[in-house]
Structure 1
Amino acid sequence: MTDATLPNHTIADHIRRTLTLAWPVMLSRLGLVGFATADVIVLGRAGAQELADYALGLAIYDSLMAAMAGLLLGVGVLTARETGAARDGAAGTILRRGILYGLLVGVGMGLLLQFAESGFLLLQQEPGQAASAAAVTRMVAFALPFFAVFFCCASWLEALHHPKVGMWAVALANISNLAFNILFVFVFDMGAVGAALATVLNSLLLAAGLWLYIHRIFPQRNRYGVGERNDAPPAIEQYRIGFGGGLSFTFEAGAFVMMTLFVGWLGTLALATHAVLFQLLATVFMAAFGIASAVQVRVGNAWGRGDARGMALAGWTGLGMCTAMLLVAMVAFLLLPLPALRLFTTDPAVLAAAAPVMIWMTLALLCDGNQTIMSHACRGRGDTWVPTALHLVSYWVVMVPAGYLFAIRWEHGVAGIYQGILVASIVSVTLMSLRFRVLTKRGV
């Protein structure tokens, strides 16, 4: 066994091992959100309408990208399990299948998004807003196949305990993304469409960079069977894990799309306010997602070597670490709400509307971040369908009706959206935690 998979059951050791894997993954995922962060920062200087176009234009795209990431989940889960069981050569086959599958899915989703305007109109968005937002959606859709390749390569390297490659790739891409944003939004005066074009170009650079690294530079590519056709788990198992993850992420992301559409009914200022608040939530959430990815790998390694106690400690340690991190973020946001909001906009009306909602956003962030830890812990154990069903209940049975009730019927406005997210996240983290406890009690 390698040091990365050798069992050790002290809490301190679990924290150390999780942090070693988690911090580059956290920075990598934060870097992906950094694309949208740069977009919002630049567009926040261009006006509320550009922010509104961006928020609505990326709503359906974001849900499909989340679904695509879920469909590719089998790459990381099976790579972690097979290498944890010392079957290293299977990793290359798992990666190749994932890339081909991801390209197919990404192209199909990109074609679907070319009809975004009809979808926005069907969902009762104002015609002018639907048209301008759909132009953003049609442009950013071209990024999906490239992000599919990136997700496969990054999750594969993370499962092999080489997360820093993806971290540095995303860091470099953020620099170019900011430059492209300034160029397209202000120099070429393309507005939110320009920000979408910057995302497409940077997703291409990320995909090409990681693919070339793995196939030409990665020093252990022969050990892990890159470019070879070695024995690996059946393809249907990889796709089954991904299909369950894809449905789960689709349920969650699709519910968030509905929440954004509810905000669209409230007007341009509400959309701009939601764009800023949700960007704050998403930025910190991706740090939690980084810990969750590390937890998934460590649970998968323990599962592969038949270590039931290691699985349990990997999951619960990750939950504690994430809770501590999110509490620090909550305190910072609540003590300094306006400085945090000014990172994304200088519009006085947007700042005034967003500040009172910060308390609900931070509470939602705490629970939503922790539910993703437990969801990934369950999936690291190979649990496919129960987490999917729990996400369906949490987000479509609970969050969407609650968001509509609070925001629209009870007229809480944007605050009602985050109240709905909070209620659903409490349900989700509770159910996922109970499910993980059942899995660890069952053993391997």
Structure 2
Amino acid sequence: MLSQLGHVLVNFVDSVIVGHIGKVPLAAVGVGVSTTSVLLVLGVGLSMGSVPLVAAADGRRNLPELGRLLVASVWTNALVGLGLAGLGQLVPLLLPLLGQPPEVVVLAGPWVRVISLSLFPLMVFQGFRMFAEGLGLTRQAMWLSVLGNVLNGLLCYALVYGRWGAPELGLMGSAWATLLARTLMAGAMAAYVLRAPRLRAERAAVASWWAAGPTIRRIADLGMPIGVQMALEVGAFGLSLLMAGWLGVTPEAAHKVAIDVASMTYMAASGIAAAATIRVGNLRGAGDLPAARRAGFAAYWLTFAFMGIMGLLLISTRHVVPYIYISDPQVVAQAATLLLIAALFQVSDGLQVVGLGALRGLEDVKVPSVVALLAYWVVALPVGYFLGFKLHLGAPGVWTGLLVGLTIVAIVLLLRFRRQTRLDFAPVPLADVRRQEPIAAQ
């Protein structure tokens, strides 16, 4: 959970520090994050394709396969990172076409160019991290995420305000801070995987540091649908921010505050989902489908409890939290209203992401991507646009549409996981059916 939170805590720190400059810079960061986040989660999702493969191979203790997966994970993510960093340089050309306030677009363009460069070291970090997490080694990435965020916060403060002898770069300081912090995180994660005694056997199984094409294709076959699904979801939330921008700078800044808070609880739940992927994939690889089913539902119950508590916490603090970002009374009032809606969709948001995680452990990724496409882009966004602009409910109407979409995804994925893990169904081939037969008989 802490490792997953690391991705959004970067944006949280940037937003808090930049927000005290004014609402226009805060809105600019919001536009920049909403456009580049699609690229970020596309890459992060693709990197997750290696996790169920590593977990299953570890369940069988297939060391040659683990060696191939280590090399392929690093190469795949590094190449994807280069591509995403390049695509990010083109995003500023699209910003004037999105109907945002001109003063926001002027500030967002340069910020996007620099933040996009940080996608390369981030993906290198992910390549090593996903291999380690597939083996159940999650604490190392957690500590690196924590330290990376502390470093990012210090650098951001120094470069935005010109403290401790650093140049005063204003809004751009937050982008340069993120680039530096992510570069150091990538180096540290690589050093752990390549030097840790715990991974000596896996490294010894590496026959060549040139990646095998078939292994890369296996990672891509699983990772691409995950990345597309995540991009569709984040893209829907990003478009909702652009819709808020059509209403003016104040609604856009309020949306940015509320989406930051909701993203933190979501990423915490996605940490439980990542654990579900590892446990379900490992147990499936070992041929124990009933235990894989229990692990998935344990993740469901844990998420239900956690997100329920987060929803109550948001309801009770919705008038206080916005002041962490900005003191503008209009922005604070609108953000408080949006946080109330965010509180209502906490459980749905958590259950849909843990459903995705559990199904990834079964290597079931394509159908969930289609579900996400239909729920977010065919239902949530049109409903949000109708409520927000046709019924003149504004940003709260847009967010209500998101609530509807998240709830649909949560229900459909829960039903699918129940079906996919039934012993009389079991469409996913198990690595060792001999282990399942006595369990099924009992």
Is the contact made by 2:72 and 2:215 (CA closer than 8 Å) also made in structure 1? Answer: no
Q: CA separation in 1, counterparts of 2:217 and 2:81?
A: 19
Q: Cα offset for 1:138?
A: 0.8
Moved more, 218-227 or 198-207: 218-227
**2:173 equivalent to 1:194:** yes
Q: Cα offset for 1:101?
A: 1.6
Q: Cα offset for 1:227?
A: 7.5
Is the contact made by 1:68 and 1:105 (CA closer than 8 Å) also made in structure 2? Answer: yes
**2:279 equivalent to 1:301:** no
Is the contact made by 1:93 and 1:225 (CA closer than 8 Å) also made in structure 2? Answer: no
**2:237 equivalent to 1:259:** no
Is the contact made by 1:89 and 1:225 (CA closer than 8 Å) also made in structure 2? Answer: no
**2:20 equivalent to 1:42:** no
**2:185 equivalent to 1:210:** no
Q: CA separation in 2, counterparts of 1:92 and 1:269?
A: 52
| SS class of match (1:331) | helix
Q: CA separation in 1, counterparts of 2:299 and 2:386?
A: 34
Alignment of 1:268-283 (within 5 A): 268-283=249-264
Is the contact made by 2:76 and 2:216 (CA closer than 8 Å) also made in structure 1? Answer: no
Partner of 2:439: none
Is the contact made by 1:185 and 1:194 (CA closer than 8 Å) also made in structure 2? Answer: yes
Partner of 1:338: 319
Q: Cα offset for 1:403?
A: 1.9
Q: CA separation in 2, counterparts of 1:226 and 1:53?
A: 48
Is the contact made by 1:90 and 1:225 (CA closer than 8 Å) also made in structure 2? Answer: no
Per chain length, whose mean CA-contact separation is higher, i.e. which structure has more relative contact order (CA < 8 Å, sep 6+)?
Answer: 1
Moved more, 180-189 or 121-130: 121-130
Is the contact made by 1:57 and 1:135 (CA closer than 8 Å) also made in structure 2? Answer: no
Alignment of 1:268-417 (within 5 A): 268-417=249-398
Q: Using the aligned pairs only, state the percent identity.
A: 29
Q: CA separation in 2, counterparts of 1:31 and 1:349?
A: 30
**2:156 equivalent to 1:181:** yes
Partner of 1:11: none
**2:133 equivalent to 1:154:** no
Task: Note the alpha carbon deviations across 1:212-260, whole angstroms, 9 max, x for none.
Answer: 11112x1122211367128997432221001221221222222222112
**Aligned match of 1:118 in 77, 82, 93?**
93
Partner of 2:220: 239
Q: CA separation in 1, counterparts of 2:216 and 2:38?
A: 25
| SS class of match (2:197) | coil
**2:61 equivalent to 1:86:** yes
**Aligned match of 1:63 in 38, 46, 53?**
38
Q: Cα offset for 1:349?
A: 2.4
Task: Note the alpha carbon deviations across 1:378-410, whole angstroms, 9 max, x for none.
Answer: 111011211111111111111221221122222
Partner of 2:416: 435
Partner of 2:434: none
Q: CA separation in 1, counterparts of 2:313 and 2:228?
A: 34
Partner of 1:99: 74
Partner of 1:229: 207
Q: CA separation in 1, counterparts of 2:358 and 2:40?
A: 21
| SS class of match (1:382) | coil
Is the contact made by 2:78 and 2:127 (CA closer than 8 Å) also made in structure 1? Answer: no
Q: CA separation in 1, counterparts of 2:367 and 2:69?
A: 24
Is the contact made by 1:139 and 1:196 (CA closer than 8 Å) also made in structure 2? Answer: yes
Q: CA separation in 1, counterparts of 2:27 and 2:204?
A: 44
Shift in CA distance, 174/199, structure 1 to aligned 2, threshold 3 Å: same
Counterpart residue type for residue 68 of structure 2 = T
| SS class of match (2:62) | coil
Task: Give structure 2 stretches of 5+ with no counterpart.
Answer: 431-442
Q: CA separation in 2, counterparts of 1:425 and 1:45?
A: 32
Counterpart residue type for residue 311 of structure 1 = A
Moved more, 386-395 or 149-158: 149-158
Q: CA separation in 1, counterparts of 2:205 and 2:177?
A: 31
Which runs of at least 4 in structure 1 moved beyond 4 Å after TM superposition? 230-233
Partner of 1:12: none
Is the contact made by 1:51 and 1:271 (CA closer than 8 Å) also made in structure 2? Answer: no
User: Given the two structures, how large is their TM-score scaled by the length of structure 2?
Assistant: 0.91
* Number of aligned residue pairs: 418
Counterpart residue type for residue 136 of structure 1 = W
Q: CA separation in 2, counterparts of 1:189 and 1:279?
A: 25
**Aligned match of 1:135 in 97, 102, 110?**
110
Is the contact made by 2:380 and 2:401 (CA closer than 8 Å) also made in structure 1? Answer: yes
Q: CA separation in 2, counterparts of 1:226 and 1:382?
A: 27
Is the contact made by 1:43 and 1:50 (CA closer than 8 Å) also made in structure 2? Answer: yes
Is the contact made by 1:295 and 1:377 (CA closer than 8 Å) also made in structure 2? Answer: yes
Shift in CA distance, 227/169, structure 1 to aligned 2, threshold 3 Å: farther
Q: CA separation in 1, counterparts of 2:325 and 2:67?
A: 41
Is the contact made by 1:43 and 1:185 (CA closer than 8 Å) also made in structure 2? Answer: yes
Counterpart residue type for residue 273 of structure 2 = A
Q: CA separation in 1, counterparts of 2:312 and 2:217?
A: 45
The CA RMSD over aligned residues, in Å, is 1.8
Q: CA separation in 2, counterparts of 1:33 and 1:42?
A: 14
Q: CA separation in 2, counterparts of 1:408 and 1:117?
A: 26
